[in-house]
């Protein structure tokens, strides 16, 4: 797990900084992006081991980021964990159909649970 690269795409600065800090304490290399366009560019540039993706983003929403990521041969294998406040079943189904590994609703998970889920996904990818 050590030195695995995590990209967090989250427009809420407080949440972004909190997850960056918590993941760095777990020895992950973390980069952040505050909108969908930045997130997609960072994924293409850095090829993270996992992307933590919000859906409600400025400039390009998380659905489009996920769609573009999975349509590109260079980035289609990056595992994506969606972390959002959208709890509607059709949003969940859409993300999973687009290729997300899992879908977590922010209000239902504390950061330690999100980090455990990240580790679970990364260990399945190895």
pLDDT of the residue at 68 = 97
In a domain, 75, yes or no: yes
In a domain, 2, yes or no: no
> Which pLDDT tens digit goes with each residue over 79-122?
999 999 999 999 999 999 999 999 999 999 999 999 999 999 99
With a cut of 80, say whether residue 1 has pLDDT above it: no
Whole-angstrom Cα Rg for the chain:
13
d(CA 3, CA 116): 16
Spell out the alpha helix ranges (H) of 1-126. Answer: 13-25, 36-46, 62-71, 89-98, 111-125
In a domain, 10, yes or no: no
State the residue range of the domain holding 23: 18-125
Domains of the chain: total: 1
> What pTM, to 2 d.p., does this model score?
0.96
CATH number at residue 90: 3.40.50.2300
* CB-facing half-sphere around the CA of 97: CA atoms within 13 A: 8
In a domain, 82, yes or no: yes
In a domain, 113, yes or no: yes
In a domain, 41, yes or no: yes
């Amino acid at each position: 797990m050590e030195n695995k690269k995590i990209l967090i795409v989250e427009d809420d600065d407080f949440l972004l900084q909190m997850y960056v800090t918590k993941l760095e304490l777990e020895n992950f290399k973390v980069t952040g992006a505050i909108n969908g366009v930045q997130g997609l560019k960072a994924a293409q540039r850095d090829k993270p081991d996992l992307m933590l993706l919000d859906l409600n983003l400025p400039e390009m929403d998380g659905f489009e980021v996920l769609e573009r990521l999975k349509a590109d041969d260079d980035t289609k294998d990056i595992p994506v964990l969606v972390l959002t406040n959208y709890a509607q079943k059709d949003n969940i189904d859409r993300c999973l159909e687009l290729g997300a590994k899992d879908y977590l609703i922010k209000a239902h998970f504390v950061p330690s649970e999100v980090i455990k889920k990240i580790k679970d996904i990364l260990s399945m990818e190895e």
